[in-house]
Structure formats: C-alpha cells, structure tokens
Amino acid sequence: MIEVDGSIMEGGGQLLRMATTYSAILSEPIRVVNIRAKRNNPGLKPQHLTTLQAVAKLCAAETRGLEIGSLEIEFHPGRLRGGSFDFDIGTAGSCSLLLQCAAPAAAYADGPIHLRVKGGTAVRWSPPMTIVQRVVWEGLRRMGFQGEVRVLREGYHPKGGGVVEAKIRSVKGFSAISGEKADVRLIRGLSTCGGLPRTVAERQAEAALRVLREAGFEARIDVATPGKGSEPYSPGSVICLWVEGGALIGDDGLGERGKPAEKVGSEAAERLIEQIKTGAYVDMHTADNLILPCSLAAGTSIFTVSRITLHTLTAAEIARRFTGARIEIEGAEGKPGRVTVEGKAIANPRWVG
C-alpha cells in the first residue's frame, strides 16, 4: 500500500485526486492522510467525497473513511470496468475536478464509459467545462485519449445543479506529447450567461474581442444563452478563450456580482495574451493535468509552460512517487519553464481493442 501525505507541497485536493487516479489505474491500494491539511477547512468536502465515490464505482474499490470532514482515507481498487454512471456532487462543487480524477482512470477501463455528473460547471478554483473540452482534453487527445464532454445545463455558485455528460473510450495506453513553441493561428471563445440578460454575455465577448484585436490577434467569440428547460439554478456568466491550433493555452473569466461584464471579458483576454507572449506550448493550469498521463505514456514528453505553478510541482512529485518516472522541471516557480517526463509505458491490461 502506498501512503500519501496530503499536507505536502500544494496541500489541497489535487494530491487526493491524483493518488486516487493512480490507484485505480495501477491497481495499487493507497492510504491518504492529512487530507487538504493546508486549507482553512481541511478534510473531505462534498466534491472530494463524490470524486472518490465516483472512481470507487468505476473500479469497484473497497474504501474506508469516505465521509465529510474525513482527514484520512483508504482506497483498495478492483477492476476498472466500462458502463454508465451518474454522480451528483450535491453542491456547486466542480464537475471539472471530478472529471480530472475520473477521466484518465476511465481510459484504462475494459470498455467505454458514459458519465453524467451534476454540480458546478463554472466555479472558482477550477476550469470551466468549455476549457476542459477545448484545452485540457485536447491535450489528452493528442496523447491518445478518446473522450468528449458537453454541458447540458450550466451550474453556477451557489446552487450548482449543472449537468455534464462525458463519453470516454478505453485506450491501449498513452503516447508522449511534445511542444516547444506556441502556434497561435486564431483565438476562439465562448461567452455565456444564464438567469441574466443576453447582453451580459455579449458585453463580455465584445470587451474580450477589443483587447485581443488591439493586441493584433484574430479572434472569434460565440455568444450563447440557455434554451428553455436548461436554465441554471443560480444566475451567472462565464467567458472562455482558447488558442485554436497547436498551443494548449486557454483562460477564462467568471462573472461576479458588482463586476462589470466588460471587465470580466477584458481581464480574461489580458491573461490569455500574457500567457501567449511567453511563447509556451501549454498554459499554467493545463500543465499539471498533463503530468499524470505523461508519466504513464510510452516515450518522453517535453513541453514548455507559460508559468511553473505549485500545482505542477506537486503533480510531478506525486507522479514520481507512483510511477518512478524521471521528471525534470526547468525554471522557477512563477516563471515560464519546460517540463520533461520520461513515461513508463504503462499499458492498459484490460484493453480489448
């Protein structure tokens, strides 16, 4: 059994999610202690509990300590199997972070998996689902991952209630990814709102377009509002921007009470431009999502990142612990850098073609 101290480095939910994903894929029991010890409210919250329960169902795991507030859990995985599963976080907890944990594990199942998740789709401290589909999962797809996700209803703070549908096919294994320089052909975007006038989404888009075009970029941003029957439980808005083409770079902005829609859009565009100007291939938030599949992949992955974060450094430490992969991160935290991962070529023993 591998024991993980959840208080090291980033000290939050990322350690728990990565350890659980590795446990399911490698069929290695784990004990995680000091869960989220560096947070003001340590222990399992509803989104962490549902994430653990989700992956436990995917692999028929035996578990201990799965309850709200728990500081220690054990996870004894069984066989990853295909099928259809429904999960309800019960709050505005992040659907994208649940999928961050479950999706790589699902790729190592013995058949396709269909997931329906209810919770938050555009909330703080996690990527909106559009960024997951257009940037994070695009990076995974370049490594052999076969998955698509769509939002059936947006879920904003505080009520959540968003509905996400994901379809993931099993793979034989992951392949390495490489990218040294950003290839920026076009910037695409999606600005949405629900429970608010459509003009909110339009103003977000117009402000972002103005900033991007003034910086010399070609950009196209779609505007969307929910149809009848798919309105969110809480009003909210979000704008997602991403590079179309080679680079895996995106950014987003969430609407806030009292914050002008123009500021939401312009700030998202400014953050995206800042990352593009580093010349990196991968953005600061996507990088840590790639470490796990890179450690499992056949071959050596090398990519530049717009900013080294503690999340990326933490992901590398957990990956080394579980796989023994050699991982080098060049550059200082908070600065642009380069990540090299010598994958361990861990194949899916359950893959049937």
Catalytic residue IDs: 311
Question: Can you spell out the DSSP letters for 275-299?
Answer: HHTTT-SB-TTTHHHHHHHHHHSBS
| In contact, 320 and 344? CB cutoff 8 Å | no
- Distance of CA 100 to CAs 20, 52, 94, Å? 11, 12, 10
Q: What is each CA distance from 290 to 49, 206, 248, 297, 311, in whole angstroms? A: 23, 32, 11, 10, 11
Element (H, E) at 272: helix 261-276
C-alpha span between 25 and 323 (Å, rounded): 11
End-to-end CA distance of the chain: 31
* Cα–Cα distance for residue pair 281/304, rounded to 1 Å: 5
